Amino acid sequence: MKYLPLITMAAVLQQAPATAQEPAAYVNPFIGASTSEGAAGIYHGLGKTFPGAATPFGMVQLSPNTVTGGDNGSGYSYEHTSIEGFAFTQMSGIGWYGDLGNFLVMPAAGLQTSAGQADHPETGYRSAYDKASEKASAGYYRVRLTENNILAEMTAAPHSGIMRFTFPAHQQSRIQVDLARRVGGTSTWQEVKVIDDHTIAGYMKCTPDGGGWGNGDGKADYMVFFYAQFSKPFTSHGVWSADIPDDWKRQREEVQHERYQARVAAAAITPGVKEKAGKHLGFYTDFATTEGEVVMLKAGISFVSIDGAKANLEKEISDWSFDRVKAQAFHSWNTALAKATIEGGLEEEKTVFYTALYHTMIDPRQFSDVDGRYIGGDGKVHQAAGFNKRTIFSGWDVFRSQMPLQTIINPGVVNDMINSLVTLADESGRRYRNAGNC
């Protein structure tokens, strides 16, 4: 007979006793990472989680995206056979129609402005990938894209992330960023500016007119600011811009429609542009690479301002040490998960336990920048005093499990949540916020 592990809660700030394997080493981020009922079967749970890199309750979740629309809140499904790109923000474990999936980065060779079809990745910048190469652990993700034989790796800090791409020999290797992309729809306005030969900055505006949370019914209204740097200087770069008519609707059904995608595929490409604003933009830089050459991209994210995104990046990832950031992310998870120790049971049961505990520490996530500034329910910038502003509380029945658990193991996070809700009510009269006014 199998016996479930005995679970004991350690003191909030106390490390668990040493075990044969560190708690974070048991985490398998692929557990629950399914949105495809047809492929996975309804009894697999359809966890709608993402497999990418994150830190405990962090603002950034750097993860592969395989799908944009429908009831696919995480933007990823294990059963899908092609990857659209790697985004810096994701939702986890939610029903309804998803949101976020912003700042979508894709390494490639040659430029295509439309993602293309999931089952025909050759029609866009999507790529098929080698499933055997796909690996995920606490704070780290990697996969080999087979379209151009590029190894993509990523890891995260609380407000920023770094990606490492290993390219083959090619005269036109490329890194491109789809600024319009959003899970469940599209951002409705974007701006991008070249700061220097290594750096771009800008923002994406996401409104209910662009779908997103509940296909617009959730009324998510937010802006994502970015400050991104490349390890290889721009020798050739540019912006693409799709001409989207003013009278076109831009929610999920319309964005996925063949007419809309044809307009995106025919986007105007402007080489060398230094600054651009529009309804459907992307940025690219291309360069020659030698066999096995590594090119990295790192970015800070903020919901407040470009300056906030820059400060977040400079505070957390000031150098190009991918392995240091990866080690710090793993350590942060090890510390967080060590608040619960288990004895007995099978190794598989320990994996299930620690992965479930890991998923309880994705949300409620950081919403304030490293300096404590955040966008309030009134759309104005506020300063958090004595707490971290948090968002994405996912209030459906969490009083039964998530909140009692966090009250025991992370009372500071619960304190943040209560203060976040109180300040939201003071600012707007609303009780609930998911990365915007919803």
Each residue's pLDDT tens digit, 407-424: 999 999 999 999 999 999
pLDDT band of residue 2 (cuts 50, 70, 90) is: very low
pLDDT at 68 over 80: no
**Domain residues for 265?**
25-332
Q: Are 345 and 321 in a shared domain?
A: no
Q: Is residue 236 part of a domain?
A: yes
H or E element: which one contains 121? none
| Omega prior to 364 cis, within 30 of 0 | yes
Q: Is residue 11 part of a domain?
A: no
- What is the pLDDT averaged over residues 101-120? 91
CB 197, CB 233: distance < 8 Å: yes
Q: Are 121 and 151 in a shared domain?
A: yes
pLDDT at 373 over 70: yes
**Could you give the CA distance from residue 191 to residue 205 in angstroms, rounded to a whole number?**
9
How far does the chain reach from its first CA to its final CA, in angstroms? Answer: 48
Residues 6+ apart with CB under 8 A from 190: 179, 180, 202, 203, 204, 205, 277, 278, 279, 280, 281
- Split into its structural domains, the chain has a count of 2
Q: Are 347 and 263 in a shared domain?
A: no
**Could you give the CA distance from residue 45 to residue 47 in angstroms, rounded to a whole number?**
5
53: left (phi over 0), alpha (psi -120 to 50) or beta: beta
At which of 332, 352, 374 does a domain end?
332
Q: Return the sign of the alpha-carbon dihedral for residues 241, 246, 252, 258.
A: negative
pLDDT band of residue 16 (cuts 50, 70, 90) is: very low
Q: Is residue 374 part of a domain?
A: yes
Beta pairing class for 127-137 and 140-145: antiparallel
Q: Are 193 and 272 in a shared domain?
A: yes
CB 256, CB 286: distance < 8 Å: no
CATH classification at residue 41: 2.70.98.10
Between 84-98, 296-310, 403-417, the lowest mean confidence (pLDDT) is in 84-98
Q: Are 360 and 282 in a shared domain?
A: no
Each residue's pLDDT tens digit, 271-295: 999 999 999 999 999 999 999 999 9
At 43 the three-state DSSP class reads helix
**Could you give the CA distance from residue 322 to residue 252 in angstroms, rounded to a whole number?**
35
**For residue 116, which of 124, 108, 128 has the smallest C-alpha distance?**
124
- What is the pLDDT averaged over residues 426-432? 72
Q: Are 327 and 338 in a shared domain?
A: no
